[in-house]
Chains A and B, each alone.
Chain A
């Protein structure tokens, strides 16, 4: 239920963000925050015992994002699944707490997802823009994702707290402590 709620909230946020970001001036409308990558990373990082629900949630969210973004179905789903697994792998080594760390980790996740996406596109021969444009886009998206990262993580932690079974779990979720 927890994963489903996070995926649904993330999907609605993606829809709203997509509509809002089109109205942004200058180059900001090119820098759409990578909410999908943030969600996949959060799911991977906070996966309790089983990793499959986190990967499943990432795949579903990625598939929905594929549909609304016009990407070939499966592309973002695959990228988010891999991002989720990578986040699960670093679960015991990274402790995301505090605004600076959250911003930095969000930007890192965005960069990671962007690089994985480039790799997957190259693997499947999906057409891409020139490398300079792709890198500029990656940088802009990383900055935007880093900036909205703390808000998104706060929302996800609230959802986690709502699904906590004990007071201790609830406090741990709100504090951003490892499950």
Chain B
């Protein structure tokens, strides 16, 4: 190899080294791929994608169907973890539900103008149609007595029927033996709400609902029914439910069906009214003069 050829060869090699150096400088200054880069990437990208697809497919087959060492043990551990977490979730959900019910009762206790006692529902026998027939609470002879009204934040539930030991059974509003004095605020009509005792619903009825002289004051489906406070058992203004059906209208009276506001199947805690609420003071808003004491007048 002559010196001239050697010089040409090394010069060419030097130029070939210089070329990437210049390309690198230009690419760093530009910051984005050049047209040549993009064109080459367009050509080589499908090849890379194809190779990746094949290799990852084979790798996936290996990982999913062949290399399953330790999967059984891992699966067992995960199942145990899952069971533990499910139990924790159930406990937490139950506690959250209890807390919600107790908060609700606290509100009821604050706004009820009577002595009340909180109680937890510990049993609820159901009918063959899965309707709650009565509920059992954890308050017994020392705390409650038959006939005491039982309410929740949503409305009245019923009355205490039997008390034995540390427990008491509550007859629901939907029971045939139940009766509550009610009023329909829109019309002013009063009546006695009684349970229909149906095995497949909690419906109640107002048999002889007073009809007002005004013909537009007729009770309609959807009208709200509240306790009247008469009978000195339930405090007035508790929402009992809504009129679901007008069954009879004979001029003076109407007979309607009422759907209770309280969903008895979801009740977890209740308030028992220990004493009837005090009667309203008729002179509450009038000023009274004091009687003379010992013959003299007050200053």
Contact = CB atoms under 8 A, between A and B. Distances in A.
Interface of A: 15-16, 18-20, 23, 49-52, 55-56, 59, 62-64, 67-68, 72-75, 77-78, 81-82, 85, 120, 124-126
Contact of B24 (A68, A73, A82, A85): A73
B37 interface: yes
Contacts of A23: 55-56, 59
A15 B47 contact: yes
Contacts of B16: 52, 55-56, 59, 81
Contact of B19 (A20, A50, A59, A126): A59
Which 3 interchain pairs have the tightest Cβ spacing? A74-B24, A74-B23, A77-B20
A10 B66 CA distance: 31
A72 B9 contact: no
B35 to A, nearest CB: 12
B17 interface: yes
Main secondary structure of the interface of A (DSSP, over half): helix
Interface in B1-48: 1, 9-10, 12-13, 16-17, 19-28, 33-34, 37, 40-41, 44, 47-48
A12 to B, nearest CB: 8
Given A15-B47, A73-B27, A82-B17, A52 B40 contact: no
Contacts of A124: 24-25, 28
Contacts of A72: 24, 27-28
Contacts of B52: 19
Interface of B: 1, 9-10, 12-13, 16-17, 19-28, 33-34, 37, 40-41, 44, 47-48, 51-52, 54-56, 59
A52 B27 contact: no
B1 A67 contact: no
B121 to A, nearest CB: 56
A20 B54 CA distance: 10
Nearest to B23: A74
B19 A67 contact: no
Contacts of B59: 20, 23
A81 B37 contact: no
A67 B37 contact: yes
A50 B47 contact: no
B230 to A, nearest CB: 81
A108 to B, nearest CB: 21
A26 to B, nearest CB: 14
A73 B266 CA distance: 70
Nearest to A68: B48
A3 to B, nearest CB: 12
Contacts of A16: 51, 55
A62 to B, nearest CB: 7
Contacts of B17: 55, 59, 78, 81-82, 85
